[in-house]
Copies of this chain bind each other. A is one copy, B any other.
Amino acid sequence: MKKHANSIDVARRAGVSQTTVSFVLNNRRDHAISPETRQRVLDAAKELRYRSNRLSHGIFRGRTGLIGVIIPPRPDDYYLKLLVGVSDECVRNGSRILLTYPSGSDSGTPDPLQALIEFRVDGVVYIWEEDESSDRVAWLQELVEKEVPCVIVDDRSHADIVDCFVSDDIAESRAAVTGLLKACHRDLAHLSAGNSVSTAADRRQGYIDAMVAAGVEDVTATIRGQSYLPDQGARAAQEILKMIPRPTAIFAANDILAAEMLKAAQRVGLNCPEDFALIGYGNTSIAKALDLTSVDQNPEEIGRQAVKRLIERMADRSLPPITRTMKSRLIERNSTAKSQADRASTELETTDAN
């Protein structure tokens, strides 16, 4: 038995031509087909469990129904949610995801781009991350040259040539920190990831903006940390605990760093939210597990919107590149739950001297 029936098999069985089969199965209006013929074809297809071969279809139509996704290999559930959003919107468009991880030319493995181009993907969702190698930029250029529609997620440094989707990290960080200030916190600190990635830099900037707006001097003295890596974060967290006066509220650049902050604090007998408020970023499963207030970037929606734009671009390649800054929002949990009234009264007492 042949593995798959083809359109000729269906045609033979229905007693019609391959052409007719194609018209019926693709619902072509061009040439009307008599209802009986139509039904015969449909029956034959069902009997033979016929499934159109999308490779052949793709070759001819010049549209494969494959969307390439380049995704960082890091186990962060942000990416998993992003993928779900991307897939959702792809399926709605009759497409499917060809998933690839970046792996440099150095590693001896073929780069993801080669695969994406060889499979003639209709478009690419490029999820950016910090990376020393310059391969990424070269890949991007090849995509642009080959005129493969492309949208970048999580970076906007190439906004001049492709569509970019980023979160409103600066604004949302500023808002979160402003919230801490409004809740009468005086001594804040930021557990940062430095400039390792644009998201880290943006979150740091938001923190600085809010602090400056509140009239705080020498803001940078309240910032520690250069990387998202847990070990480095743990060290920076310890430094924060040694600040004088000790911060009563800490804004971390992501949930992993917030978790390190919490661990470091517990080790010296400090608890959250009793002794300090803490805000993380990403609203990952870690935030839920720790009952941690965190910024949710709504990655599913980012994924959906990115694909939506990609599809627009596939239809009209001449569209000018746009950058969209997606709205995040703060999810409040126990780590910032110490009642404002409590603190306000304490503050009043201690500020009586003023």
A residues neighboring B (CB under 8 Å): 3-4, 49, 51-56, 58-59, 64, 66, 69, 73-77, 79-81, 83-84, 87, 91-92, 94, 96-101, 103, 109-110, 114-115, 117-120, 145-147, 230, 255-256, 259, 262-263, 284-286, 288-291
* Contact indicator A76/B77 (Cβ below 8 Å): yes
A230 contacts B98, C-beta separation under 8 Å: no
Q: Write the nearest CB–CB distance from A134 to chain B, whole angstroms.
A: 19
Q: In the complex, A290→B147 CA distance in Å? A: 46
- Interface pair B87/A100, CB less than 8 Å apart: yes
A29 to chain B, nearest CB (A): 22
Residue of B nearest to A148 (CB): B3
Task: List B contacts of A58 (CB < 8 A).
Answer: 55
Establish whether residues A289 and B117, one from each chain, have CB atoms under 8 Å apart when the complex forms: no
Which of B56, B94, B285 lies in contact with A59, CB distance below 8 A?
B56
Known: A120-B53, A285-B76. A100 touches B96 (CB 8 A): yes
Taken together as a complex, chains A and B put the C-alpha atoms of A350 and B288 apart, in Å, by 38
List the B side residues contacting A290 at CB < 8 Å: 259, 289-290
A188 to B75, CA, bound (A): 32
Q: How far is the CA of A289 from the CA of B272 in the complex (A)?
A: 15
Q: Is there an interface contact between B259 and A120, defined as CB atoms closer than 8 Å?
A: no
Contact (Cβ within 8 A) A55 B120: yes
User: How many whole Å from A189's CB to the nearest CB in chain B?
Assistant: 19
CA separation between A100 and B100, bound complex, in Å? Answer: 14
Contact residues in B for A59 (Cβ distance below 8 Å)? 53, 55-56, 59
10 interchain pairs (CB within 8 A)? A3-B147, A4-B146, A53-B118, A75-B84, A75-B285, A77-B80, A87-B101, A91-B103, A92-B109, A289-B289
A118:B51 contact, CB within 8 angstroms: yes
Complex: how many Å from CA A96 to CA B91? 19
Return chain B residues, CB-CB under 8 Å to A91: 103, 109-110
Residue of B nearest to A255 (CB): B289
What's the nearest-Cβ distance from chain B to residue A237, in Å? Answer: 13
Selected from B80, B146, B230, B255, the residue in CB contact (under 8 A) with A80 is: B80
**B73, B147, B230: which contacts A288 (Cβ < 8 A)?**
B230
Identify the interface centre among A54, A92, A119, A289: most chain B CB within 10 Å of its CB. A289
**Known interface pairs A59-B56, A76-B80, A99-B87; A51-B117 also in contact (CB < 8 Å):** yes
Residue pair A51, B114 in contact (C-beta under 8 Å): yes
Complex Cα gap A84–B64 (Å): 25
Q: When A91-B110, A255-B289, A285-B256 are in contact, do A96 and B75 touch as well, CB less than 8 Å? A: no
CB distance from A325 to the nearest CB of B (A): 23
A98 with B100: CB separation less than 8 A: no
Contact check, A80 vs B87: say whether CB atoms are below 8 A apart. Answer: no
Do the beta carbons of B97 and A99 come within 8 Å of each other? yes
Shortest CB distance A56–B (Å): 6
Q: Which of B69, B77, B96, B114 contacts A77 (CB 8 A)?
A: B77
Instruction: Please name all residues of chain B whose beta carbon is closer than 8 Å to the beta carbon of A285 when the two chains form the complex.
Output: 75-77, 256, 284-286
Contact, CB under 8 Å: B101 / A99: no
Task: Out of B83, B98, B286, B289, name the residue touching A96 (CB < 8 Å).
Answer: B98
Residues of B within 8 A of A3 (CB): 146-147
